[in-house]
Amino acid sequence: MPIKTKLDASTDELENAHQNNELELDLFLEAVFRKYGYDFRSYSRASLTRRIKTQIERLKLENMCQLIHLVLHDEKAFIEVFDHMTVNVTEMFRDPYFYKSFREVVAPQLRSYPSLKIWHAGCSTGQEVYSMCILLKETGLYDKAQIYATDIDPQVLEKAKKGIFSLEAAALYSRNYHDSGGLHTLSDYYTARYDNIIMDSSLKKNVIFADHDLATDQVFSEMQVIICRNVLIYFNHGLQDRVFRLFSNSLDYGGYLCLGSKESLRFSDCYKLYDTLNSKYKIYKKTHQHDLFSLQINR
């Protein structure tokens, strides 16, 4: 029988600890899914592990087992943990050249449509929705548009509905707006009060904010534009593929799909249904019909 060296033994221990951590994470995600219906089991592991470890530290717990016990027995504590399991970072006119491209390439093509349905999936606290509303106003498309802004996290949706953002961020937002080809100054669209800016309420007249979980929910009506930016980077390939099928089933023929700059449709079966309009800022146009049965969506 081969003799184990000290190095072999410590490698075994590390491997064992890693397997146990993975198993505990699986148990935690299973507990969250079975108790609350939120399915994080197909999120990419590395960043999810980091965020959950931070929660264990924040709550001064000793290990994952204690976290499982806490979320199963304390709904309020779960809501806080849940809020930290998703990454909600966003800004107005984030990646301004995406908005510039949308303004110059997509908006002119939308002029001939009698009405428009636009879905912002994973809209977080709403900055990207208000940005699009401003763009639609400036391109004369707003009045015929119905905008659906959805997210898995009810707490960020509440903030999105209010449209109140920090004054501190306004300088960055104004710069982004300018770089995106904005026609006026951003302050034309908000009122500053104390430490906040309050977005003009006329911007949200045509917006419906709603809960929607890309991992478990189904198609969200027939859309001409779907914008889902900086959400899919947190999903594994299987879940990304589910979402691309969902979007392809939701998008009308000739509709536009917009992703974040670090995301791509390229490795999905759905890629063949689209033409790429902007490869850097990930704007795709659906140019092929598909056989509905070939785009079944797993539950």
Q: Is 248 in the site for ligand SAM (CB under 6 A)?
A: no
* Site for ligand SAM contains 153 (CB under 6 A): yes
Smallest distance from the beta carbon of 13 to ligand SAM, in angstroms? 35
β-pairing, 223-228 vs 116-121, is: parallel
What's the closest the beta carbon of residue 214 comes to ligand SAM, in angstroms? 4
The answer to whether 282 contacts ligand SAM (rule: CB under 6 A) is no
Residue whose CB is less far from ligand SAM, 137 or 282? 282
d(CA 213, CA 152): 5
Asked if 128 interacts with ligand SAM (CB under 6 A), we say: yes
Contact between 241 and ligand SAM per CB under 6 A = no
For residue 128, the cross-strand partners are: none
* Minimum gap (Å) between residue 43 Cβ and ligand SAM: 7
Q: Is 229 in the site for ligand SAM (CB under 6 A)?
A: yes
Q: Does 226 bind ligand SAM (CB under 6 A)?
A: no
- Surface-to-core class of residue 99, CB atoms within 10 Å of its CB (0-12 exposed, 13-18 middle, 19+ buried): buried
User: Tell me, what amino acid is at 87?
Assistant: V
User: What burial letters (b/e) apply to 35-56, b meaning 16+ CB within 10 Å?
Assistant: eeebbbbbbeeeebeebbeebb
Residues 262, 233 contacting (CB under 8 angstroms): yes
In the numeric block, which tokens belong to residue 8? 């072999």
Looking at the Cβ atoms of 207 and 231, the one nearer to ligand SAM is: 231
Positions touching ligand SAM (CB under 6 A) are 86-90, 94, 122-124, 128, 151-153, 156, 212-215, 229-231, 260
